[in-house]
């Protein structure tokens, strides 16, 4: 007789795995395509022609991206406070916000990449339209409660690593359209004849698909209902502004992790923002005439996209093994940062020796090697966010997972703002402008080589410096030791068991 297999408990069963795999698809796509927003404004939207001023789109994009990040500094913590303060629900309080999140994120990114002619020709309506779309996108991003949900489900590092890896793998699948966004938009344009409209149409279709998948994933996820033992306990655990302020002042792991994460992840943010300009003008443009070989650019970008998927698919499978080798998530994160930084150093030396200029495949190959440890570092970094939330709950007795996540979200968006600002500065300095119809450079050609050299330095030397800096912060400042981690986990398990018992007793009455 065949022995019946014991069903795996949630979230390690099929429902949990599929749910976590698909829940963040729209967030992954929207985040990656947002990295192309600056190029959309400068190269494809036709804002310069609509406004009638050369270089207006570059200046507008730089300013608007900086302003949106200032808004984030206030908006994200507010939304996190709303999430953490909400009452427990049978559907799941964080799960409900995650459902809203998928819808808002998809609608917001569609608005940003869809500029009607009447909007982009009006200097007043244009920023209002873009800011409205961005606020919806940002609210959707901030209300994503997958981190808080996972923190409530288990304290087991193995399960957390597995579910985090599944989230990461799902996000990687969802970003494939953004990796190939320019080749796809170029193919769509063959039947439309307007690159700006093709760009917008590609964004609308992909955001709608990934948004729908994320909604379905959210419905598959289950969130534990942790009822309070008594009404007095409920009042005692009610989150106040004072609690949040105390948490922000005293949570050393949170600040150390986010400082290191901010420094280290700058290499990815900078590379993402600069890459589209770097590949286009370093390898595909004639510096004398400003003419770009769009077919070559689309081909190189597509090759880069295929190659970049390799570490992204590989690393979620090996991240758990890497964490196990180094013994803790902080050690794994800092080791990955250091290895990536050294590879960027090799890339900078190749640029100085003229090897980088020989072929785009030299750059793509070195970038692949650097992206492997950088991709692995993502999962330990996500686990560190959860560990910081554990520390808050352990020291205060209150769950503020959304607030700790909000701190990391602000860091992420600040990175993105600086990453967009750096190429934006170069673009403004040279009066960057592109003919949206032909793709040829329409600005002062004498300043173009200097801009390209500057972007090359940003692609190689800066990531080396920031990666080594992140390693140093983790190495010398992160305060949670293996002994403390073990004690904290045991205490949290006891508290949650008591809460579940209290709810069960309440249900019997």
pLDDT computed for residue 109 by the predictor: 93
Token digits of residue 435: 């003919």
pTM exceeding the 0.85 threshold for the entire prediction? no
Q: Please give the tally of structural domains in the chain.
A: 1
With contact defined as beta carbons under 8 Å apart, do 112 and 106 qualify?
no
Q: What is the dihedral of CA 81, 82, 86, 89, to 10 degrees?
A: -120
pLDDT computed for residue 507 by the predictor: 45
Question: How many other C-beta atoms are found inside a 10 Å radius of the C-beta of residue 360?
Answer: 20
In a domain, 3, yes or no: no
pLDDT computed for residue 152 by the predictor: 82
In a domain, 9, yes or no: no
Return the ∠ at Cα 342 (arms to 274 and 349), rounded to 5°. 70
Please choose, from the candidates 402, 483, 422, the residue with its C-alpha nearest in 3D space to the C-alpha of residue 84. Answer: 402
pLDDT computed for residue 231 by the predictor: 45
Residues paired with 441 in a beta bridge: 434
CA atoms within 13 A on the CB side of 439: 20
Q: Tell me if the bond preceding 11 is cis, omega within 30° of 0.
A: yes
* Cα 193 to Cα 3, 41, 189, 345, distances in angstroms: 63, 18, 5, 42
With contact defined as beta carbons under 8 Å apart, do 444 and 431 qualify?
yes
pLDDT computed for residue 427 by the predictor: 72
Range of the domain at 72: 14-508
Please choose, from the candidates 333, 362, 341, the residue with its C-alpha nearest in 3D space to the C-alpha of residue 474. Answer: 333
pLDDT computed for residue 238 by the predictor: 54
**Residues in contact with 392: Cβ distance below 8 Å, sequence separation at least 6, in sequence order:** 247, 251, 254, 398, 399, 400, 401, 403, 404
In a domain, 431, yes or no: yes
pLDDT computed for residue 139 by the predictor: 86
How many residues would you count in the chain?
Answer: 509
User: Crossing angle, helix 329-352 and helix 448-477, to 10 degrees?
Assistant: 150
- Helix or strand holding residue 112 (H, E): helix 93-112
Q: How far is CA 53 from the centre of its chain?
A: 33
pLDDT computed for residue 212 by the predictor: 94
With contact defined as beta carbons under 8 Å apart, do 226 and 500 qualify?
yes
- Helix or strand holding residue 196 (H, E): helix 195-220
Q: Residues 243-292: pLDDT tens digits? A: 667 777 778 888 898 889 888 877 666 776 778 788 888 888 888 888 88
In a domain, 41, yes or no: yes
CATH of residue 78's domain is: 1.20.1250.20
Q: What backbone torsions phi and psi does residue 175 show, to the nearest 5 degrees?
A: -90, -5
Parts of the chain with a pLDDT under 70: 1-6, 69, 72-74, 226-241, 243-244, 267-269, 272, 416-417, 419-423, 426, 436-438, 499-509
For residue 509, the SS3 value is: coil
pLDDT computed for residue 74 by the predictor: 65
With contact defined as beta carbons under 8 Å apart, do 25 and 168 qualify?
no
Q: What is the DSSP letter of 285?
A: B
Report the C-alpha gap between 351 and 452 in whole angstroms: 12
pLDDT computed for residue 508 by the predictor: 44
In a domain, 158, yes or no: yes
Report the C-alpha gap between 195 and 186 in whole angstroms: 7
In a domain, 4, yes or no: no
pLDDT computed for residue 316 by the predictor: 74
pLDDT computed for residue 505 by the predictor: 47
pLDDT computed for residue 229 by the predictor: 43
Got the DSSP string for 375-400? HHHHHHHHHHHHHHHHHHHHHHSS--
In a domain, 8, yes or no: no
């Amino acid at each position: 007789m065949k022995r019946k297999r014991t069903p795996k408990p949630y979230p390690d069963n099929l429902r949990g795995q599929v749910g976590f795999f698909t829940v963040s698809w729209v967030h992954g796509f929207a985040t990656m395509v947002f990295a192309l927003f600056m190029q959309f404004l400068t190269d494809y939207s036709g804002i310069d022609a609509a406004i009638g001023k050369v270089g207006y789109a570059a200046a507008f994009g730089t300013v608007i991206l900086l302003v949106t990040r200032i808004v984030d500094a206030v908006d994200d913590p507010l939304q996190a406070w709303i999430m953490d303060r909400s009452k427990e629900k049978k559907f799941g309080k964080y799960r409900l916000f995650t459902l809203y999140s998928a819808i808002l994120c998809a609608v917001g990114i569609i608005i940003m990449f869809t500029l009607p002619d009447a909007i982009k020709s009006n200097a007043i309506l244009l920023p209002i339209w873009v800011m409205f779309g961005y606020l919806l996108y940002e609210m959707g991003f901030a209300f994503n409660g997958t981190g808080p949900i996972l923190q409530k489900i288990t304290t087991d590092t193995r399960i957390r690593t597995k579910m985090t890896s599944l989230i990461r793998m799902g996000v990687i699948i969802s970003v494939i359209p953004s990796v190939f966004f320019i080749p796809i938009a170029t193919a769509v344009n063959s039947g439309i004849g307007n690159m700006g409209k093709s760009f917008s149409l590609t964004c609308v279709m992909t955001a709608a698909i990934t948004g729908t998948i994320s909604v379905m994933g959210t419905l598959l996820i289950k969130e534990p209902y942790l009822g309070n033992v008594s009404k007095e306990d409920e009042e005692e655990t009610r989150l106040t502004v004072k609690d949040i302020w105390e948490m922000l002042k005293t949570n050393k792991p949170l600040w150390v992790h986010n400082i290191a994460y901010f420094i280290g992840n700058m290499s990815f943010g900078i590379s993402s923002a600069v890459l589209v300009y770097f590949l286009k003008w370093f390898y595909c443009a004639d510096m004398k005439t400003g003419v770009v070989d769009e077919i070559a650019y689309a081909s190189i970008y597509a090759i880069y996209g295929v190659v970049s998927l390799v570490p992204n698919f590989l690393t979620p499978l090996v991240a758990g093994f890497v964490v196990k080798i180094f013994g803790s998530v902080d050690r794994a994160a800092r080791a990955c940062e250091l290895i990536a930084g050294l590879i960027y150093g090799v890339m900078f030396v190749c640029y100085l020796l003229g090897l980088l200029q020989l072929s785009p495949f030299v750059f793509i190959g070195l970038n692949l090697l650097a992206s492997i440890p950088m991709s692995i570092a993502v999962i330990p970094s996500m686990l560190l966010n959860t560990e910081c939330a554990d520390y808050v709950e352990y020291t205060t007795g209150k769950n503020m997972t959304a607030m700790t996540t909000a701190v990391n979200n602000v860091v992420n968006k600040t990175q993105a703002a600086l990453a967009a600002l750096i190429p934006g500065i170069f673009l403004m300095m040279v009066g960057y402008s592109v003919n949206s119809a032909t793709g040829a450079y329409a600005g002062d050609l004498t300043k173009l080589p200097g801009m390209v050299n500057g972007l090359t330095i940003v692609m190689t030397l800066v990531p080396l410096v920031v990666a080594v800096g992140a390693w140093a912060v983790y190495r010398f400042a992160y305060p949670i030791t293996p002994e403390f981690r073990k004690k904290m986990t045991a205490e949290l398990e006891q508290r949650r068991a008591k809460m579940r018992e209290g709810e069960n007793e309440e249900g019997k009455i």
